Amino acid sequence: MTSQPIPDMWNQQFIDDPYPAYRQLLAHDGPIYHEGVWLYAHYTDVQAALRHAGLGTTQLDVDAELVAQYGLEPIINARRHMMLFTNPPDHTRLRGLVSRAFTPRAVDRMRGTIEQLVMQLVDDIDAGNIDLISRFAYPLPVTVIATMLGVPTDDLDRFRRWSQPIAAFIAGSTDTESDVWLRASDAAKEMAEYFVVESRRRRDNPGEDLLTALSQAEEGDDQLSTDELVANAILLLVAGHETTTNLIGNGMLALLQHPHQLAHLRQHPALLGNAVEELLRYDSPVQYTERVALHDLTIGDHRIAAGATVQLFLGAANRDPQRYPDPDTLDVQRTDVRHLAFAHGAHFCLGAPLARLEARIAIGALLDRLPQLALADEPLAWRSNFALRGLRRLPLAIGQQQ
Ligand code: HEM
């Protein structure tokens, strides 16, 4: 039997550049079964798995004694009620209620605020060398979603501080586990207290913000419980911030490494929307997710036993040569991009319209306002997480602003 190309996902070399390992997975004919786990990398297989009602999202199996001993209830409790980690019927109800608040109109209302914020962040960039992540790509999404939720400007710093450990926990950071869990739990506790107080205030004094809309969200008698409101407000805050940061960071890196594509995009700004889709495909901010078989089931020719884990390599599916001609080539004019970067099916990213809007405005402004932008001559370092692909720093030489 030929050996199977199983990627070593916790290895920093794989995290730095997963694409050679993906090519091996994609060269294999169909999914791979290895020690009770299914590995899916091909576009049609990943898409079929994401659509399959018999595959559910995974719950954490944590020892109750450990949770009590270390005081982890706040983060475990929040995770349990986040729509991302629930299955029908809870998922259908939660997603329905949150979607009523997080509407395309609510997102579109943010356009002016995002444009203003982007301009201000670019204005604050001086000539010389900067790190685009800390100066631009990180502050933008967290400020946008916190503003949308209705968090006052004075509390933004606290929100940024709380979001980081929770995002690391949700994404399954490879940093020392216990430390991430403790910091995430402390942050979740403080954030939950904040949201409880603020949502009560909104019931008496409604505003135009998302927290007011969530507080009012009800479907027949089916209201969001306090735990659910808090958990999903936290999810909205953290789901969008590292991911969108990585879209801007990975996207700008890809463009700067492909100067012809960058020049073409500068000459044809109408391509920006398509370019953002191609950047999402080419170096996806979310590379990986997983599911568990809720019962015995069949996908294509394969029988999957109840309880088996199914690993879904979104980043590989987006480079599948059976789906995309020249998949490893960046082409901002590529037609029919329809990638899986926002997943597919029941858990398709609820924040996709917001992420797209932010990325178009952000990347458009950077190209327009900073014509001499270039990669600085410094080595790149990727964050140590195989699910969320992003740079620790993106050192750029800025040149003169326009
Ligand atoms: C480039 C940026 C983003 C990317 C690549 C991304 C990607 C994803 C992916 C792959 C999933 C599905 C995960 C799975 O099925 O296991 C997801 C779900 C989700 N995303 Fe995003 N996301 C981004 C931005 C955002 C933003 C800005 C928000 C909100 C402010 C958001 C909110 C959510 C929510 C609430 C879910 C859960 C949906 C559900 O379970 O039904 N995301 N996202």
User: CB of 366 within 8 A of CB of 252?
Assistant: yes
Check if the beta carbon of residue 15 is closer than 8 Å to that of residue 294.
no
Give the pLDDT confidence score for residue 189 in this predicted structure: 94
Establish whether residue 235 lines the binding site of ligand 1, counting it when its CB lies within 6 angstroms of any ligand atom: yes
1 — pLDDT class (breaks 50, 70, 90):
very low
Q: Is the CB of 286 under 6 A from ligand 1?
A: yes
For the Cβ of 351 lying below 6 angstroms from any atom of ligand 1, the answer is: yes
Residue whose CA lies nearest to ligand 1 atom number 34: 350
Which neighbouring-strand residues pair with 303?
298
* Closest C-alpha residue for ligand 1 atom 29: 351
Question: What is the Å distance from ligand 1's center to 264 Cα?
Answer: 30
Give one DSSP letter per residue of 203-269, joined into a string. Answer: HHS--SSHHHHHHH-EETTEEPPHHHHHHHHHHHHHHTHHHHHHHHHHHHHHHHH-HHHHHHHHH-G
What pLDDT sits at residue 242? Answer: 85
Domain 12-397 class in CATH: mainly alpha
Q: Report the Cα 16 to chain-centroid distance in Å.
A: 18
**What percent of the chain stands above pLDDT 70?**
96
- 318: CB partners within 8 A, 6+ apart: 43, 280, 281, 282, 284, 324, 327, 339, 340, 341
Q: 156-215, pLDDT tens digit by residue?
A: 888 888 888 888 888 765 555 668 888 999 999 999 999 999 988 988 899 989 999 888
> Can you tell me the mean pLDDT for 99-120?
94
pLDDT of residue 128: 85
| Cross-strand partners of 373 | none
Question: What is the band of 63 on the pLDDT scale with cuts at 50, 70, 90?
Answer: confident
Q: With bands split at pLDDT 50, 70 and 90, how would you rate the model's confidence at 286?
A: very high
Q: Are strands 288-293 and 37-40 parallel, antiparallel or unpaired?
A: unpaired
How far is ligand 1, taken at its centre, from the CA of residue 352, in Å?
7
Q: Averaged over 311-334, what is the pLDDT?
A: 98
Mean pLDDT for the stretch of residues 57-80:
83
The pLDDT tens digits of the residues spanning 212-225 come to 988 887 555 668 89
The SS3 assignment for 312 reads strand
- Spatial CB neighbours of 208, under 8 Å, sequence gap ≥ 6: 150
Give me the pLDDT at residue 218, please.
59
Ligand 1 mean position to 343 CA, how many Å?
A: 8
Domain ranges of the chain: 12-397
